[in-house]
Amino acid sequence: MKQFVIRRLIQSIPTLLGASILIFLIFALAPGDYITAQGNPNLTEERAAELRAIYGLDKPLPERYIIWMGNFLKGELGDSLLFKQPVKDVLKTFIWNSFIIALAVLVLQWTIASVVGIFAAIKQYSIYDSLVTLLVFLAMSLPSFFIGLLFLKLFAVDYQIFPLGGKITTGSNYTGLAYVWDVMKHMALPVIVLTLLSIGGLTRYFRTNMLEVIKQDYVRTARAKGLKERVVIFKHALRNALLPLITLFALELPALFSGAIITEKIFNWPGMGKVALDGIFQRDYPLLLGFLMLLALLTVIANILADVLYGAADPRVRQK
């Protein structure tokens, strides 16, 4: 297994290199830059040229890429033009806000989807299965901005159960458990909305995989032995049904740090999605380059993790 992981890490180097070139070209060739994004009518062409030289935007593309890639390999992501501080510091400040939201959504999403999907498969074509299918497709069809604004109006404006937005109460100086409770109240609505939006597809995955597995010969054999239905489903069928979902679960790793642009914007949550959107509007390319390269690196790690989990869950894969 150790040799396998080392080999996969070496094989991922060309992938990361290609991703870095593609990401760099997307932003470098995009129209406009940080200077033009300011919209300053008093900015002369001479001053704009001076600013581009200061920010290194006047150099040829190959030279700019080599400089940027060299700094990246040294762990330097450059300075954010929007926040006037190193990109590393910006990521450290905001990425963990997205992480706590995404982690809560991940736990709720997989817990609810697994229970609902498994029982929908067991009770195929029943009223419960039909109701679950209806609710799943309803949740998948509604846009995130609609659900976000609806929940904001109902639970924050009309009934005032949750705060309107932000991460903490403005002007508060909570510490300890009081601070944690304040953050949890502010993150409740974003977590609920994101869970509702993401639970539908995963529920269908669980239902479909369980339906395929419970029709296999070894499941019928287990039932023929007189084993309890609970043992047949959760000991024999569930493990094999989870195998196709391992990749899906591993690829959730980058999503833990990527943030949810629309939801964070609606609830004014200071996460990475909202910051990335502001960076796009302001042409803060150093911030976006560092952020997307981090996601590319996490995606490669997630793929390797999925292969390792496959080997741990299925002896046939481990033997190969």
pLDDT tens-digit readout, 118-154? 999 988 889 999 998 888 888 878 888 899 999 999 9
Element (H, E) at 86: strand 85-86
- For the chain, domain boundaries: 93-274
- Give the pLDDT confidence of 279-310 residue by residue, as tens digits: 888 888 899 999 999 999 988 888 888 877 77
- Give the pLDDT confidence of 239-269 residue by residue, as tens digits: 788 777 877 887 788 888 887 888 888 999 9
On the question of pLDDT at 186 being above 60, the answer is yes
Mean pLDDT, to the nearest integer, of 208-214? 89
Q: Which residues of 14-45 are buried (b: 16+ CB within 10 A; e: fewer)?
A: eeeeebbeebbeebeeeeebbbeeeeeeeeee
- Sign for the pseudo-dihedral over CA of 308, 314, 318, 320: negative
Band of residue 319 on the pLDDT scale cut at 50, 70, 90: very low
- Please state, rounded to an integer, the average pLDDT across all residues of the chain: 86
Q: Look up residue 198 and give its two tokens.
A: 């993401």
Mean pLDDT, to the nearest integer, of 69-91? 89
93-274 is a CATH 1.10.3720.10 domain: yes
